[in-house]
């Protein structure tokens, strides 16, 4: 059975307490995990610590924590600490993010994200064993680092995000899970083939690599509003967040639309960018409509073979009432 998770909003919330309440609501309604992104808002580790103190059973994780804004050793320390404060419920989701975030906002060169992701995961996994870390890579050389506290038990899984074929293949080779975002069912199936190739190359058990699909959802009585919010969110990611989402959509057979959305958004024509996403594509990428329509739509994605969990994400323009309504409408219980 496919798990159903909550992906807490990427948009600004009124307080850390708002995230806590959304997580508690998710736990009460039977969601399996709560994921928190780290973009340019609140610190994910601090916020998850607060959530951990106010929840009891739901898994907690980062999706994703950028690998360029912390050293791998610090990421390992953070994961060990969050595993402790959550009583073993933590899952670490990592990813390279993109040049807009990393270079413009963190002032760090965005180079060779695949290699850097691989080395970060290698170091983090060594840190979490509690043994002394000896590592020599292209980006990181460590010698003598060792956790001063007891290593986490159980060791939290280290999962990665990726969109391109090679990134997903590498996830299958070395990570404990893959986080997917902005995929049609057909596009997801293509990338799952890359994941399985990586699993084979790494001589691993496919059951050891968990697949989580983050799915933009909005379930409201006002179906038109729900669809408008999701359309705007999709246009923002394809048109405004660098070229990775545009390229991913193009690889899925929608190159003309991807370029139209990107060009219009870059030209400042937000309406044209949104209009370029027709209803069929919107429904292929996301879940938007009345609660009844949304429940039918999310079931299609959960039925894709190889998907272990679908994470209910929210459009960036959704307010707290929209988020709560969607959490309630798509509750697994």
From residue 291, give the alpha-carbon distance in Å to each of 2, 40, 146, 220, 223: 19, 31, 50, 6, 9
Q: Is the pLDDT of residue 310 over 90?
A: yes
Q: Is the pLDDT of residue 333 over 90?
A: no
Average pLDDT over residues 28-47: 96
End-to-end CA gap in the chain? 13
Mean per-residue pLDDT over the chain, rounded: 97
Q: Is the pLDDT of residue 135 over 80?
A: yes
Q: How confident is the model at residue 10 (pLDDT cuts 50, 70, 90)?
A: confident
Average pLDDT over residues 224-235: 98
When the candidates are 3.20.20.30, 3.40.50.1950, 3.20.20.60, 3.40.50.970, the CATH number that belongs to 3-63+162-329 is 3.20.20.30
Q: Is the pLDDT of residue 7 over 90?
A: yes
Average pLDDT over residues 101-124: 93
* Total Cβ atoms within 10 A of residue 207: 8
pLDDT of residue 61: 98
pLDDT digits (tens, 9 = 90+) for 79-108: 999 999 999 999 999 999 988 888 888 899
From residue 196, give the alpha-carbon distance in Å to each of 120, 205, 206, 300: 22, 10, 7, 21
Average pLDDT over residues 286-305: 98
Q: How confident is the model at residue 64 (pLDDT cuts 50, 70, 90)?
A: very high
Region of poorest pLDDT, from 9-23, 47-61, 263-277: 9-23
Q: Is the pLDDT of residue 65 over 90?
A: yes
Domain ranges of the chain: 3-63+162-329
Indicate the pTM of the whole model: 0.96
pLDDT digits (tens, 9 = 90+) for 186-220: 999 999 999 999 999 999 999 999 999 999 999 99
pLDDT of residue 82: 98
pLDDT of residue 45: 97
Average pLDDT over residues 294-302: 98
pLDDT of residue 133: 98
Percent of residues, the chain, with pLDDT higher than 70: 100
Say if residue 64 is preceded by a cis peptide, omega within 30 of 0: yes
């Amino acid at each position: 059975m496919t798990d159903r998770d909550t992906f807490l909003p990427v948009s600004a919330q009124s307080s850390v307490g708002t995230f806590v309440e959304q997580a508690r609501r998710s736990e009460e309604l039977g969601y399996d995990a709560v994921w928190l992104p780290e973009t340019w808002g609140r610190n994910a580790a601090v916020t998850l610590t607060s959530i951990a103190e106010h929840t009891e059973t739901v898994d907690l994780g980062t999706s994703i924590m950028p690998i360029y804004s912390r050293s791998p050793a610090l990421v390992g320390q953070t994961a060990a600490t969050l595993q402790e404060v959550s009583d073993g419920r933590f899952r670490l989701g990592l990813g390279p993010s993109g040049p807009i975030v990393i270079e413009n906002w963190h002032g760090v060169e965005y180079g060779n994200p695949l290699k850097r992701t691989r080395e970060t995961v290698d170091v983090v996994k060594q840190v979490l064993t509690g043994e002394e870390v000896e590592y020599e890579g292209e980006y990181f050389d460590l010698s003598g680092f060792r956790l001063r506290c007891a290593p986490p038990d159980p060791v939290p899984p280290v999962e990665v995000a990726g969109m391109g074929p090679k990134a997903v293949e590498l996830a299958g080779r070395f990570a404990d899970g893959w986080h997917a975002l902005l995929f049609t069912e057909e596009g997801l199936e293509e990338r799952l083939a890359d994941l399985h190739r990586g699993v084979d190359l790494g001589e691993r058990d496919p059951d050891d690599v968990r697949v989580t699909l983050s799915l933009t959802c909005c379930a409201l009585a006002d179906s038109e509003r729900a669809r408008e919010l999701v359309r705007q969110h999709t246009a923002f990611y394809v048109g405004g967040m660098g070229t990775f989402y545009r390229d991913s959509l193009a690889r899925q057979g929608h190159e003309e639309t991807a370029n139209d959305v990107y060009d219009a958004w870059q030209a400042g024509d937000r309406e044209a960018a949104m209009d370029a996403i027709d209803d069929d594509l919107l429904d292929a990428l996301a879940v938007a409509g009345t609660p009844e329509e949304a429940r039918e739509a999310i079931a299609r994605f959960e039925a894709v073979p190889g998907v272990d969990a679908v994470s209910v994400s929210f459009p960036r323009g959704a307010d707290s009432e929209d988020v709560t309504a969607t959490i309630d409408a798509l509750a697994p219980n």
